Structure 1
């Protein structure tokens, strides 16, 4: 069996979990920090994220613990197996004395997907920068 890799990006936010949760789960706010979408906070809901590059990610809500955990599949279909990706994104919110610790894990990268794995680290750091700006207004 092939060992799958997980990209992890962690960040401290100066906002309570409830404020971040709104930015993570309301479609119009998700669009501001992540991508255009048809997300609904409903277990089993299938949705798409549409990137500015013209690509589409097929997703499904896998876990919901309000103000604590949100998990969804993050799949990209491609005719080129090197670019096809079947992964799971899990966002975990932990209250802290000064706000919230957010841990993003994207699991499912095959060893031959070094570029996608590296891109996930860089991409999520950028997304979380934008999330901070959106959460401030949420």
Structure 2
């Protein structure tokens, strides 16, 4: 039996308005500053790649958009076959970022390694967003 419902879920407050955070998570030049280089565009169906250093080039596809509020895309198609979701909610003068990395297969050695490694890594990656906004 395969368990593909493992998810990494994070909730971060960013002291920037929603529109600034939205640009930071959907603009390739800014995403490259806090995470990875790639040709992401916030358009449903857009296929793109992320350059993940020692983990290679990962194929992705935008699955869902709520303009200015949420983007969901496949991540590492054919390798991890997981999804990343960034959801934004205004909070005071800042933004609450809800992040989910879902679909990691804990029955697979690669899936388990990704779940454990990315579970430790994502908090630090997301913490770099404010500096990328400026």
Alignment TM-score, normalising by the size of structure 2: 0.89
RMSD: 1.5
CA contact (8 A) 1:9 1:105 kept: yes
Can you give the 5+ residue segments of structure 1 that lack an aligned partner in the other structure? 78-83
Aligned mates of 1:134, 1:90 — CA distance in 2: 19
Match of 1:111 among 85, 106, 109: 106
In 2, are the aligned partners of 1:10 and 1:102 still within 8 Å (CA)?
Answer: yes
SS at match of 2:10: strand
* 1:22-61 correspondence runs (5 A): 22-53=23-54, 55-61=56-62
Total equivalences in the alignment: 130
Q: Output the CA distance in 1 between the equivalents of 2:106 and 2:54.
A: 24
Structure-1 residue corresponding to 2:91: 96
Give ranges in structure 2 of 5+ residues lacking alignment.
none
Aligned partners of 1:109 and 1:117 also within 8 Å:
yes
Alignment pair present for 1:2 and 2:5 = no
Q: Deviations over 1:8-67 (max 9, x none)?
A: 111101111101001111111111111110112211000000012251111000111122
In 2: Cα distance, 1:128 partner to 1:7 partner: 13
